[in-house]
């Protein structure tokens, strides 16, 4: 008889695989039809979708490359072209897989006709897409969303709003298309529904035991990143919500023996998601994380103008586009709301916007909440930059505090 | 003058200003609205890295923060930072400066940290309007800091000084392209360093005197006309009509981000085969890209004028517009008879490191060999950097 695993598999994962497969096929078809855009994860995808431009996500492709454990090899292809190992591994793997798609078993994307970047998640995306543009000839269009300090000021909103108008103009010129009221509203509504369902899914994790662990959320976040605004995305989250609510009702946790509840901060190391399962065997669950909670802003609106106004606000007001204080506030809020015992901050060498400041915020979060935390260092795709033994030692030290 | 001596001189200039009752505002990103700062009675001064600083940042920053920010942070921790009324961090230029400003504020709450947010997008009027509003907010923050309201007269005087300084330096940059023997790169880089330490009338006079001396030499060789033409072309970032052939053996340009020209001048001084005239141009952020900023107009909305001036500077790797930058680079290499390109990359600097491969390819397309120089403010790998440069020079000599 095989040993019972310490964690429970979601049935919705089967549906997830179907969605991923379908998205890949649609992206290939769109590329062949000349209407494929690569977009950054924080891009207002509702606009290209409503204009019949199909989006696909290099960051997600990077996650797949990482999870397939080919990160070092594919990043190496990028390094062979002169891109430093010090640069973002999403970017390096994307550049590498674009240069040598035939040598990449998983994660190479179809050729884009446009590259749509929004710098609300980091400044790297522009540089990365510039590099891809040189390789593919696809033009880069940047939606510039300067970081917020506190509230969004009127001139900031006006600048981003003008940028959104320019985006519509760019798509219209590049793809010979138009933004129609009816389609804009339909897509925005679908996107909002998906976001709301996803938010409800996340909120179920306040329960004890938590119905989802970190790895579950990292996997099931894929549609809200890649397919929000599409009908099947809503269908997926309806199914997922039903499953997790069922778990809550029956008192079934994501792991079998929940003892310690922790917060995860940052992108995960995609190549070693078993890290979370190993901790599950020790009774450690992660009911909340800052990464999957980043997709929470719903674009509301009854016509094109109000939707574009909403886009200007929602896509500026994202987690990574705010200062350190706001990030600390969010972490403290999650620790309180989800009744967490401590936190793990993953210092990702690839991601300066997410990671620089963690050494200070760790102190602040502990001071404000009274719970301990630990900073571990590594990378999300490039396993050469991750020392499992070192990470284990640090996490062990944190867990000893809960004995 | 070696780099440590330059630092000492810069600090001396600062000390004299402080002793004379001047308040100094430090800045890191060089495209600062100097005129606005001076209109509040402050002296804008570049906060310099220090080569002798040892790491003291580790409690607050990870090792993958860029080497510039690590060095500045370490200086602050060590207490070796100059006495400043405040320090300006740029926002939306790169992720390191964005986040380190927050860390700085939290670690050193007694410091007056001021943010100035720049547009990244090449968005024409809307970018200028956004930056104008940011500059107005910056001015308001300076008023709170100093208790001195924005003075229009002081702005106009500052604009005049800065126009004189930049104009003089632009002419000297252009003169070196035509006849580098008239002014060593080291001298030019020191004058640029003085400008960034304190854009004062004294510095203006020094630059004007040097230009007068160089102009004399140019006139004797009937080269003054072409220098003016090159300067105008560089200022308009359109050098398609310039066709300048040089009879010099090897002419090198240096490109990169947040590296000071004085660092390059200091690095190359001891390299065998590197003649005083070999490096004819830098396209560095702290050098060419700041010097070739158009003047701020003094009529109309002064905040908008300051924004237009900043946005009129040659494009930075932190901004949208890689294809335009590469076209400009190719024109420079081709039309100004550049035979080799040194590509500097600040350690863990995303804009530098992302742009370096494109720069190499652009140079290669016009047949100009390149060498990449991974560099940090401490020049911690100096022997290897010198070795790379020496080998590169030898390659050019034999090609």
* A373 membership: H or E segment, kind and range: strand A373-378
Q: If contacts are CB pairs under 8 Å, which of residues 119-148 in chain B contact chain A? A: 119-123, 126-127, 129-130, 133-134
Alpha helices in A51-150 (DSSP H): 58-67, 71-80, 89-99, 124-136
Pairing of strands B86-91, B113-117: parallel
pLDDT of residue A1: 47
Q: Is the distance from CB of A99 to CB of A24 less than 8 angstroms?
A: no
Buried b (16+ CB within 10 A) or exposed e, B88-120: bbbbbbbbbbbbbbbbbbbbbeebbbbbbbbbb
Res A327 pLDDT > 90: yes
- Average pLDDT (B394-399) is 78
Q: Is the distance from CB of A187 to CB of A50 less than 8 angstroms?
A: yes
Peptide bond between residue A209 and the one before it cis (omega within 30 degrees of 0) = yes
Domain count, chain A: 1
Given the structure tokens 């709003």, which residue do they identify?
Answer: A161
Cite the beta strand spans of chain B per DSSP E.
Answer: 23-27, 42-46, 86-91, 113-117, 252-256, 279-284, 340-346, 370-375
Q: Over chain B, what is the mean pLDDT?
A: 92
pLDDT of residue B250: 87
Exposure on the CB side of residue A15, measured as CA atoms within 13 A: 17
From residue B393, alpha-carbon distances to A256, B2, B273, B341, B358 in Å are 66, 22, 7, 10, 22
Q: How far is CA B244 from the centre of its chain?
A: 25
- Average pLDDT (B39-61) is 90
Q: Is the distance from CB of A50 to CB of A32 less than 8 angstroms?
A: no
Cα–Cα distance, A100 to A94 (Å, whole number):
10
Res A249 pLDDT > 50: yes
Q: Write the CATH number for A121.
A: 3.40.50.11900
Closest residue to B350, CB basis, from A124, A147, A358: A124
Given the structure tokens 């660092």, which residue do they identify?
Answer: B263
pLDDT of residue B6: 52
Closest residue to A87, CB basis, from B62, B92, B354: B354
End-to-end CA distance of chain B: 32
Contact B100 A143 (CB under 8 A): no
A-chain residue closest to B351, CA distance = A127
CA-closest candidate to residue B344, choices B385, B384, B316: B385
ipTM comes to: 0.94
Partners of B59 on chain A (C-beta within 8 Å) are 359
Contacts of A14 (CB under 8 A, 6+ apart): none
Cα–Cα distance, A7 to A258 (Å, whole number):
10
- Output the CA torsion sign for A55, A58, A62, A65: positive
Partners of B354 on chain A (C-beta within 8 Å) are 83, 87, 91, 124, 127-128, 130-131
B-chain residue closest to A146, CA distance = B92
Q: Is A264 within a domain?
A: yes
As to burial, measured by CB atoms within 10 angstroms (0-12 exposed, 13-18 middle, 19+ buried), residue B143 is middle
Residue B346 contacts A where some CB pair is shorter than 8 Å: no
Cα–Cα distance, B195 to B158 (Å, whole number):
13
Res B5 pLDDT > 60: no
Q: Which of A6-15, A108-117, A290-299, B198-207 has the lowest mean pLDDT?
A: A290-299
Contact A155 B92 (CB under 8 A): no
Partners of B106 on chain A (C-beta within 8 Å) are 324, 360, 364
Res B247 pLDDT > 90: no
Res A300 pLDDT > 90: no
* A263 membership: H or E segment, kind and range: strand A260-265
CA-closest candidate to residue A385, choices A344, A357, A351: A351
Q: What is the DSSP string of A20-52?
A: HHHHHHHHHHHHHTT-EEEE-TTS-THHHHHTT
Contacts of A358 (CB under 8 A, 6+ apart): A265, A266, A345, A347, A375, B62
User: Which residue range forms the structural domain that includes residue A49?
Assistant: 13-402
Per CATH, is B3-150 categorized as 3.30.360.10?
no
Contacts of B209 (CB under 8 A, 6+ apart): none
| Beta-ladder partners of B170 | none
* B300 membership: H or E segment, kind and range: none
Given the structure tokens 């100059």, which residue do they identify?
Answer: B82
Confidence of residue B51 (pLDDT cuts 50, 70, 90): confident
Confidence of residue B398 (pLDDT cuts 50, 70, 90): low
A168 vs A149, more confident:
A168
CA-closest candidate to residue B332, choices B301, B366, B378, B374: B366
Given the structure tokens 């001084």, which residue do they identify?
Answer: B269
**Predicted TM-score (pTM) of this structure:** 0.95
| Mutual angle of helices B185-197 and B152-178, in 10-degree steps | 170
At residue A223, φ and ψ (nearest 5 deg) are -65, -35
Q: Which of B54-58, B188-192, B306-310 has the lowest mean pLDDT?
A: B54-58
CA-closest candidate to residue A147, choices B316, B95, B322: B95
Q: Over chain A, what is the mean pLDDT?
A: 95
Partners of B122 on chain A (C-beta within 8 Å) are 142
């Amino acid at each position: 008889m095989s040993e019972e695993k310490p964690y429970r598999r979601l049935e919705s994962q089967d549906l997830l695989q179907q969605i991923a497969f379908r998205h890949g096929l649609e992206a290939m078809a769109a590329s062949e039809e000349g209407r494929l855009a690569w977009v950054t994860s924080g891009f207002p995808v509702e606009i290209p979708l409503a204009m019949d431009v199909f989006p696909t996500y290099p960051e997600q492709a990077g996650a797949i490359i990482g999870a397939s454990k080919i990160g070092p090899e594919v990043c190496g292809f990028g390094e062979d072209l002169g891109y430093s190992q010090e640069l973002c591994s999403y970017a390096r793997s994307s550049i590498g897989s674009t240069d040598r798609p035939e040598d990449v078993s998983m994660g190479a994307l179809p050729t884009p006709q446009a590259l749509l970047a929004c710098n609300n998640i980091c400044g790297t995306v522009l540089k990365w897409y510039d590099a891809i543009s040189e390789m593919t000839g696809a033009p880069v269009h940047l939606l510039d969303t300067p970081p917020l300090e506190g509230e969004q000021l009127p001139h900031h909103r006006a600048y981003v709003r003008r940028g959104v108008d320019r985006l519509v103009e760019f798509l219209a010129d590049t793809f010979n298309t138009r933004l129609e009221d009816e389609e804009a509203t339909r897509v925005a509504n679908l996107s909002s529904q998906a976001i709301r369902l996803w938010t409800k899914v996340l909120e179920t994790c306040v329960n004890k035991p938590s119905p989802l662990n970190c790895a579950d959320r990292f996997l099931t976040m894929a549609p809200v990143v890649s397919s929000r605004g599409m009908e099947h995305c809503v269908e997926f989250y309806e199914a997922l919500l039903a499953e997790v609510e069922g778990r809550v009702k029956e008192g079934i946790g994501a792991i079998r023996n929940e003892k310690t509840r922790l917060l995860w901060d940052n992108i995960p190391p995609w190549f070693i998601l078993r890290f979370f399962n190993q901790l599950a065997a020790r009774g450690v669950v992660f009911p909340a994380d800052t990464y999957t909670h980043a997709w929470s802003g719903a674009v509301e609106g009854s016509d094109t103008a109000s939707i574009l106004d909403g886009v200007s606000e929602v896509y500026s007001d994202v987690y990574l586009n705010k200062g350190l204080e706001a990030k600390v506030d969010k972490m403290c809020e999650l620790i309180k709301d989800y009744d967490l015992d401590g936190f793990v901050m993953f210092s990702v060498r690839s991601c300066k916007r997410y990671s620089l400041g963690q050494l200070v915020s760790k102190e602040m979060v502990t001071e404000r909440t009274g719970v301990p935390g630990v900073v571990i260092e590594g990378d999300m795709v490039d396993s050469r930059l991750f020392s499992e033994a070192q990470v284990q030692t640090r996490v062990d030290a944190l867990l000893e505090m809960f004995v | 003058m070696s780099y440590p001596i330059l630092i000492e001189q810069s600090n001396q200039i600062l000390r004299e200003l402080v002793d004379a009752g001047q308040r100094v505002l430090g800045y890191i990103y060089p495209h600062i609205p100097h005129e606005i700062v001076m209109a509040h009675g402050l002296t804008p001064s570049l906060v310099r890295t220090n080569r002798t600083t040892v790491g003291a940042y580790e409690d607050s920053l990870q090792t993958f923060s860029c080497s510039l920010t690590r060095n500045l942070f370490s200086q602050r921790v060590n207490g070796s930072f100059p006495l400043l009324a405040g320090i300006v961090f740029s926002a939306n230029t790169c992720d390191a400066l964005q986040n380190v400003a927050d860390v700085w504020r939290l670690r050193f709450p007694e410091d007056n940290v001021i943010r100035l947010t720049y547009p990244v997008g090449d968005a024409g009027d809307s970018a200028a309007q956004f930056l104008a509003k940011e500059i107005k907010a910056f001015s308001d923050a300076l008023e709170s800091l100093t208790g001195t309201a924005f003075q229009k007269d002081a702005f106009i005087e500052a604009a005049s000084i800065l126009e004189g300084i930049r104009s003089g330096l632009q002419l000297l940059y252009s003169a070196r392209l035509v006849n580098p023997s008239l002014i060593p790169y080291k001298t030019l880089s020191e004058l640029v360093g003085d400008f960034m330490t304190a854009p004062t009338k004294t510095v203006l006079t020094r630059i004007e005197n040097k230009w007068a001396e160089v102009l004399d030499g140019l006139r004797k060789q009937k080269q003054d006309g072409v220098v003016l033409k090159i300067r105008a072309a560089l200022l308009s970032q359109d050098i398609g009509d310039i066709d300048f052939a040089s009879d010099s053996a090897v002419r090198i340009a240096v490109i990169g981000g947040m590296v000071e020209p004085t660092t390059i001048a200091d690095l190359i001084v001891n390299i065998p085969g590197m003649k005083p005239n070999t490096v004819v141009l830098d396209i560095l952020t702290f050098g060419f890209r700041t010097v070739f900023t158009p003047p701020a107009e003094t009529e109309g909305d002064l905040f908008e004028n300051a924004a237009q001036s900043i946005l009129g500077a040659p494009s930075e790797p932190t901004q949208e517009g890689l294809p335009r930058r590469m076209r400009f680079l190719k024109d420079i290499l081709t039309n100004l008879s550049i035979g080799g390109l040194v590509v500097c990359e600040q350690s863990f600097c995303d804009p530098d490191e992302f742009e370096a491969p494109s720069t190499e390819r652009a140079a290669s397309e016009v047949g100009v060999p390149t060498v990449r120089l991974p560099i940090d403010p401490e020049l911690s790998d100096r022997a290897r950097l010198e070795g790379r440069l020496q080998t590169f020079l030898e390659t050019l000599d034999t090609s």
